[in-house]
Amino acid sequence: MTVAAEGSPPLRMAGSRRSPLLQSEAVQGLALISPTFVYALILLVLPILVVIAHSFWTQNYLTIDHTFTLENYRIALTEPIYRDLLWRSLYISLTVSLLTVALAYPIAYFISFHGGRHKSLWLFLITIPFWTSYLLRVMSWKVILGYNGVLNSGLMGLGIIDEPSTALLYNSSAVIITLTHAWATFAILPIFVSLEKVDRTLVEAATDLGDGPLRSFLRVTLPLSAPGIISAALIVMIPTVGDYVTPKLVGGKDGVMIANAIQAQFGKASNWPLGAALSVTTMIIVSLMAGATVLVIRALQRLAR
Amino acid sequence: MLERVQSQSDRTMIEIRDVTRSYGSFKALDNASLAIREGEFFSLLGPSGCGKTTLLRMIAGFDAPTSGSIAVDGQPMDGIPANRRPTNMVFQSYAIFPHLNVEQNVAYGLKRLKLDAGEERRRVEEALVQVSLTGLGKRRATELSGGQRQRVALARALVMRPKVLLLDEPLSALDKKLREQMQVELRRLQQAVGITFVLVTHDQYEALAMSDRIAVMFGGRIAQVASPKEIYQRPVNRQVADFLGGMNFVKAEIVEENGASLVLDTLGFGRVRTDKPKAFVRNGGAATLGIRPERLRVLWDNATAKFEVAGKVVERHYFGEITHLIVEIPGLEKPLSVTETNDFGADDIPVGAPIRLAYDPEALVAMAD
C-alpha cells in the first residue's frame, strides 16, 4: 500500500487536476440534493405541468382534444357554482388559519415561556392526537357534533336545549371546527420555534423601559414571533383550501368546498380539463392569498413600536 | 496628585439593607448592606458568581431579595415591579430590539409617556447626541457594530432620565481598544448627566478607571467598599488585594497593635509600622504584609534608599513598556515580583544578577491572616 502510494504521486496529481468540477462546493451541493430533486421533479413538477396542460384542452367523452382553449377558465371563473365554492373554500381556510393561529399561540407561548424543564414533554403530548389517523379524528368530530352526538346529548342533559340541534353538523362551521382541531399542532410548532428564538433579555429590556406584561408582549414578543405566525398561517391555510375529506365527511351540502368539485370533475363528471382549470385557478388564488397574508402580518408587525 | 472631582452629593440614592438572596440552600447574596450616593459612579466588582449581577437585578426589579430591603431615592422598592422603578438598565447583551431602528429603540420607553411628537423627537435627538450617534437614527439595529449597539443601549436608558442607571458588564463584549475608549466616555457622560451609575464588572481596571467608589464582592458577600485608590492601596484582605492586580504577600508577626496602627515583624522588610486597616480582625499573632510590584523600585549602581531590600533576579518577563522581575530575597519564602518601567533598561537586567530594591513603607499594607 505504502509503496504503491509512494510510487503514484504523478498519477494522483493528474487525478486531482482532472476533477476540479467535483471539488466545487456548488457541484457537491447539487449532487447531494439531486436524489430529492429528481424525486420532486417527477412527482411534483411533472404532475403540475400535466394539470396545467390539461386545463387548456377539452374533453369529448373519452378523448382529449388538444386544441388550446380558455373555455375551462371562463367556466371556472364565471359559473356561479364554482365561484361560490371557491369563495367558501377561501373563507373556510382563512377562518381556520385565523382560529388555529389564535388558539395555537397561547399554547406555544405557554410551552416556550413557562414550560420550564418539561418543554419536550409538552411538545410530545401535543403530538399525541397524531397517533390516530386523520380520518378517525374527523369521524370522532361527527360523533361529537352529530344529531345524537356528545354535544347534543350533553346540552339536552343540562336542559339547555329541548331537542337535538341540527345546526352543529353538516355545514361550514362543522368543517371549520374540525379543521381547526386537526391543524392545531402544525400551528403550535412553528410559533413555538419562533418564540424560543425571542431573546428573553429583550422582554426584560421592554419591562425596564416601563412596559407592563401586556405591552411588552404586544411590542416585543408578538412582533418578534411574526415569522412563526406567518409560517403557521401558511401551513394551515394552503392545505385547508384544497381539503376535501373533511367537507365530505362533516360538511354536508352546505360545507362542500372547491376540492370536492375538482374531485367530481376528475371522477363522476369526467371532465378533466375543467377539473384541471379549477385546480390551477385555486392554486393561483391560494398563492395570492398566502402572499397577502404575509404582507398583512408584516404590516401589523411594523405597527408595533 | 490630583484628586477626583467629587460630583456626587452626600445624599443616599440607593440603600441596600441586609439583603439576602437564596436559591435553595445556595446564597447568591448573603446579608449585603450598601449605601450608594446620589450622582455617584459606583462599581460592583468581583469574580463571576460573586452575586454582583444578582444585586444589580434586584435594584432593577428583575429579582427580589429573599430577605432585606432595597430603597431607591428614599422609596422602598418592595413589591414594585421593574417597569415602575426609577431605574434603567444597560444590558450585557445590550438587548437592542431587532425589529426597530435606532430612533425607535431610543424612543421605546418614551412612547408610554405620551409626549407630543416634537418633544419626543427632541429628547431622542438629545440622547443620540450624548452618545455620539447623531445621523444613525434610521439605521436598523442589525446594521450596527458592537460599540454602536452599546451606545444605543445607553441612549435608550438615558433618554428616560432615570434616577439610577444600571450597567451590567456593558463593556465586556467590546475589544480592548474600544473598551478603553468607552471607559473614558462613560465616565465623562456620567459626569455630564450627573445621574447615579451602578456598574457591574469583573474587570478591576475598568472599575478602578471609572468609579467614584467600588464594592468588591466575593461569594455573595461585600468584602470592601471604598474609593478606587483605597481599594487598590489598602485592600482589607488577601482576596481583595489579589483580585485588584498583583500583590506580593509577606508573612509577618504582630508585635504591637493599638487603635490606629500595627507594628509588624517581617523577614526581609524588618520591623514595619503601618496603618491598621478598618476591618482588621486579629487572628492569632500572624498577619500578612502586602506590597504592590510597582511599588518596589530597582536601585541602580550605587544609588541608595532609606528603605531597601537586596536579593537576586531569578526570572525576567518582558511586556513592552514594562518588565516583570522575579526577585529572590533571602529569608522570604516566596520571591517578590517587581514591575519596572523600561526607560532605564530594566529589560536588560540579567537573570541571576544581584539586585537591590527600594520601597516606601507607606506602600506596605497589613492584612489580617
Q: Of the ranges A117-131, A136-150, B74-88, which is most confident?
A: B74-88
Query: In the predicted model, what is the mean pLDDT of residues B75-92?
Result: 94
The answer to whether the CB atoms of A207 and B81 lie below 8 A apart is: yes
Q: pTM of the predicted model, to two decimals?
A: 0.82
> Of A199, A211, A304, which is closest to B83 when you measure between CB atoms?
A211
How many C-beta atoms lie closer than 10 Å to residue B146's C-beta?
13
Show residues of chain B in contact with A208, CB under 8 Å: 60, 62, 82-83, 87-89, 157
Q: State the Rg of chain B over Cα.
A: 24
Find chain B residues with C-beta within 8 A of A214's C-beta. Answer: none
Give the closest of B83, B97, B100 to A210, CB-based: B83
Please give the CATH number for the structural domain made up of B246-368: 2.40.50.100
Residues B338, B319 contacting (CB under 8 angstroms): no
Strands (E), chain B: 12-23, 26-37, 41-45, 67-72, 75-76, 87-90, 164-168, 196-201, 213-218, 221-226, 248-257, 261-266, 270-275, 286-291, 297-299, 308-318, 322-328, 336-341, 354-358, 365-368
Smallest Cα distance from A189 to chain B, Å: 22
Band (pLDDT 50/70/90 cuts) for residue A2 is very low
Q: How far is A293 from chain B (nearest CA, A)?
A: 19
| Size of chain A, expressed as the number of residues it contains | 305
Backbone φ and ψ for B24, nearest 5 degrees, come out as 65, -125
CA distances from B107 to A247, B99, B115, B121, B135 (A): 50, 13, 11, 8, 15
Residues 6+ apart with CB under 8 A from B187: B41, B209, B210
Strands ordered across the beta sheet of B41-45: B87-90, B164-168, B196-201, B41-45, B213-218, B221-226
Give the closest-approach CA distance of A300 to chain B in angstroms.
12
When the pLDDT of each residue in chain B is averaged and rounded to a whole number, the result is 90
The predicted pLDDT at position A19 comes to 64
Distance from CA of B186 to the nearest CA of A (A): 20
What mean pLDDT is reported for chain A? Answer: 88
What's the burial of A159, exposed, middle or buried (CB within 10 Å: 0-12/13-18/19+)? exposed
Of the pLDDT bands very low, low, confident and very high (cuts 50, 70, 90), residue A159 is confident
DSSP A251: I
Task: Report the alpha-carbon distance of residue A233 to residue B314 in Å, rounded.
Answer: 73
Can you give the pLDDT at residue B59?
Answer: 96
Task: Please report the pLDDT score of residue B224 as a whole number.
Answer: 92
Contact A201 B97 (CB under 8 A): no
Q: Taking residues A271-295, what's their average pLDDT?
A: 93
Vertex B224 angle, CA B222 and B229, to 5°: 145
- Cβ(B170)–Cβ(B92) under 8 Å? yes
Of A52-56, B9-13, B317-321, the poorest mean pLDDT is in: B9-13
Residues A262 and B115: their CA atoms lie apart, in Å, by: 58
Residue A287: is its pLDDT beyond 70?
Answer: yes
Measured between beta carbons, which residues in chain A are less than 8 angstroms from residue B56? none
CB contact under 8 A, A305 and B108: yes
As for the ipTM of the complex, it is 0.84
Chain A residues within an 8 Å CB radius of B107:
305
Domains in chain A with CATH codes: 79-303 (1.10.3720.10)
Note the CATH architecture for domain B12-233: 3-Layer(aba) Sandwich (3.40)
Query: Which set of grid coordinates corresponds to residue B360?
Result: 516606601
A210/B62 touch (CB, cutoff 8 Å), yes or no: no
Quote the pLDDT of residue A198. 95
Q: Which residues of A48-68 are buried (b: 16+ CB within 10 A; e: fewer)?
A: eeebeebbbbbbeeeeeeeee
Nearest-angstrom CA–CA distance, B124 and B152 = 11
- Mean pLDDT for B267-272 is 83
Q: Which residues of B touch A (CB under 8 A)?
A: 60, 62, 81-84, 87-89, 91, 93, 95, 97-100, 104, 107-109, 111-113, 156-157, 160
pLDDT band at A4 (very low <50, low <70, confident <90, very high): very low
Count Cα neighbours of B137 within 13 Å in the Cβ-side half-sphere: 15
Nearest to A208 among B60, B98, B104 (CB): B60
Per residue in A127-156, pLDDT (tens digit) is 888 888 889 999 999 999 888 888 888 989
Q: What DSSP element (H or E) covers A60? A: strand A58-60
Domain-by-domain residue ranges, chain B? 12-233, 246-368
Average pLDDT of the segment spanning B74-81: 93
Q: What is the pLDDT of residue A305?
A: 65
- β B261-266/B336-341 pair status: unpaired
